[in-house]
Amino acid sequence: MNEIEEIKSRLNIVDVVQSYLKLEKAGINYRACCPFHSEKTPSFFVSPARQMWHCFGGCNEGGDIFKFVMKIENIEFIDALRILANRAGVELKSRQGDAWQKNKSERQILLNLCEIGTRFFEAYLKKSAKGKEANEYLLKRGLTQETIEAWRIGYAPEAWSHLSDFLVSRGYKREDIVKSGLAISKDQNKFFDRFRSRIIFPIRGFNGETIGFTGRIFGNTDENEAKYLNTPNTLLYDKSQALFGIDKAKLEIRKSDFCILVEGNVDCIMSHQAGLKNCIAVSGTALTPQHLRIIKRYSPNLVLAFDMDEAGNKATKKGVALAQKMEFNTKIIPLTDEKDPADIILHEGESKWRKMIETAKPVNEFYFELALKNKDVNLLEDKKKIIAELLPIFKKIGNAVEQSYWLNKLAIMVRVEEQDLRKEMEKIKDEEDNFEVMNISPKFKEEVPKTKQDLLEEQIVLFILLDRDNISMLSSEIVNNFTGLSKDILLKIIENPKISNDELLAQLKDSPETVNLLNYLILKSEVEGEIDDLKIELEKCVRERHNLINKNSRRDLALKIKECEASGDLETLQKLLEQFNSLTKNNKKDNENQTQKNIKDLELISSEGEGLVEETAEEVSEKEGQATGENKEANQEVVEAQGQDESQEINNQEI
């Protein structure tokens, strides 16, 4: 057993996926909204029996645990292998000079640098004089020593290049240290630490690996220095996607089914210390669509706790607009009196913070109270300001009942007629958002799209998997004309119609692509369940495939005929015309046979109730007239088909 197989044998795909998404049971499988495209109805399924996942919605992606981790983390296979090996407790070979060592990714080098940097900062917090002062400051802010160590908070010394020199002494290249964000390079001779005289908060990814840092200024420094400094965008760290505390909070967010979002690192840490561990922070940057996409993997319910000063108010409104567009159930904790969550927990207690979360206001209630703040509803100018602030918000409410509720409440508050508010609201032009909800799915090499014939053949296999008895409708001669991987599956079932799915997989194990297709179709059959009139649908699918092949053949012949006409090759032209006429006649015959079958079906339907229900002569005559009319209509279609080439194909079935 190689390393990949051993990892797969030790890990359950459900556990792996559940560490990133909130899954719900769906029969023998699990489902969720797909993390790789936007959707309202869950189409992402995970099969514990097949140890695979697949999205049956917009992106149609699927694979095993490695493919999932690669996509969700946006990493290479070698990094996904390392992450899953650590999780499974499998030791990977990494001997010096080995191919593994030579091919070690740049990402791994940067991860190593960030980890060593974290240990360096931790050591300076514990052992240096200035670091001990920083530790005392953190304790006064309300953090316990246990919390400081759990979050691996550290201290960056004031010296220009202590960390950089240390990393170089450990064998790391200066350009890699710069790429990690730990150092800055100016000109060829200037190389110094990015973080100096700062309390350091490591920023971690989903799996707890350090990907970047936030540094808070501490001590006697230049007044022009920024209070907070973050790692710049690197291969590991992207401020538009990184969420402080996500590694510790993701399971709690799923468990509690809501996420508390704060602005500062200390706010987040103090909330965790207070027992509210479903809290994360944007760490000093604006809330982005990518942040929200990540949060929504775990819960669609969001509680925002942002500052309510002028800048904070704008940031809150923008964040709310983003969350509403992405269909979050959003509530807001209005923070006033220049107190952030950390101050509230420290000075007013954990219970106060918990109560503020429990009583967080729904979005429209928050906006309503905000518009009334510091205004006198008896003054005309203030009335106009209140109305101007709220009507654009109320106009965006999709639910008519909810919209009427808020308009009525506003009308009562400012003492104007509701119909006048509606007239003013109608004048407001719909504002287009100046942001786009981005898809953060990593870019993989695009697979060759399947042809319609491939899809039809896969659908036929699916119908056979749902009811093996229907294999009698397909002969070996028909199946041997199939293209692609479906042929191998169907031939095995023809050999043994009673073969189980597991036996089928075992017999096809020498073809990994065929096994992957079969696993996908088995999962799809479990997801779709029973299909009404399965035999009829299978017949339609087989017939459509036949007509599609016929049409494609006639199209190819038509192109060759044109080429022969242009070149004057009369001998070849005559042969091609004969082939084309033969295909056209066969197509006509197929249409006639289908017409006769439709008539027989109608006759069968009309006779089903004989002896059970007494029909009048008029009813019988009416049925005969309907059958005659449909017969004429079908015959007319055959006549029309004789003069057509491309329009003879039956309407395409949706696959």
Residue 630 has pLDDT above 70, yes or no: no
- The band of 609, judged by pLDDT with boundaries at 50, 70 and 90, is very low
Q: Would you give the end-to-end CA distance of the chain in angstroms? A: 39
Look at residue 135 in the predicted model and tell me its pLDDT. Answer: 96
- Neighbour order of strands in the sheet with 361-362: 279-281, 259-262, 301-305, 329-332, 361-362
C-alpha–C-alpha distance, residues 247 and 240, integer Å: 16
* Lowest-pLDDT range of 41-55, 277-291, 300-314, 616-630: 616-630
Ordered by start, the domain boundaries in the chain are: 3-102, 106-230, 246-427, 452-531, 537-648
DSSP-derived pairing of the beta strands 210-217 and 198-204: antiparallel
Select from 503, 528, 526 the least CA-distant residue to 515: 503
Fold of 3-102: DNA Primase; Chain A (3.90.580)
Of 185-189, 268-272, 299-303, give the range with the top mean pLDDT. 268-272
C-alpha–C-alpha distance, residues 363 and 318, integer Å: 12
- Please give the backbone phi and psi of residue 58, each rounded to the nearest 5 degrees, phi first: -65, -40
Sign, CA torsion 144/147/152/156: negative
Tens digits of per-residue pLDDT, 442-500? 444 455 677 888 888 888 988 888 888 888 888 888 888 887 788 889 988 998 988 88
* Range 106-230 classified under CATH 3.40.640.10: no
Look at residue 610 in the predicted model and tell me its pLDDT. Answer: 43
Rounded to the nearest 10 degrees, how much is the dihedral formed by the CA atoms of 257, 261, 267, 269? 40
Helical H runs in 89-238? 99-102, 106-127, 129-140, 145-150, 162-169, 174-179
**If you average pLDDT over residues 623-646, what whole number do you get?**
37
Tens digits of per-residue pLDDT, 42-96? 999 999 988 999 999 888 889 999 999 988 877 778 888 888 998 888 887 754 4
Query: Does residue 2 or residue 152 have the better pLDDT?
Result: 152
Q: Which residues fall within 8 angstroms of residue 519, CB to CB, at 6 or more apart? A: 47, 50, 52, 505
- Residue 429 in tokens: 């032009």
Spell out a b/e string for 535-564, using b for 16 or more CB atoms within 10 Å of the CB, else e: eebbbebbebbbbbebbeebeebeebbeeb
Rounded to the nearest 10 degrees, how much is the dihedral formed by the CA atoms of 201, 207, 210, 212? -80
- Do the beta carbons of residue 62 and residue 52 sit within 8 Å? yes
Tens digits of per-residue pLDDT, 561-583? 888 888 888 888 888 888 888 87
C-alpha–C-alpha distance, residues 178 and 505, integer Å: 50
- Residue 574 in tokens: 């005559």
- The band of 590, judged by pLDDT with boundaries at 50, 70 and 90, is low
**If you average pLDDT over residues 640-649, what whole number do you get?**
34
SS (H, E, C) 303-338: EEECECCHHHHHHHHHHHHHHHHCCCEEEECCECCC
Q: Which residues fall within 8 angstroms of residue 617, CB to CB, at 6 or more apart? A: none
* Range 246-427 classified under CATH 1.10.10.60: no
Rounded to the nearest 10 degrees, how much is the dihedral formed by the CA atoms of 224, 230, 233, 235? 140
Q: What's this model's pTM, rounded to 2 decimal places?
A: 0.66
Look at residue 226 in the predicted model and tell me its pLDDT. Answer: 87
- Residue 534 in tokens: 């399965």
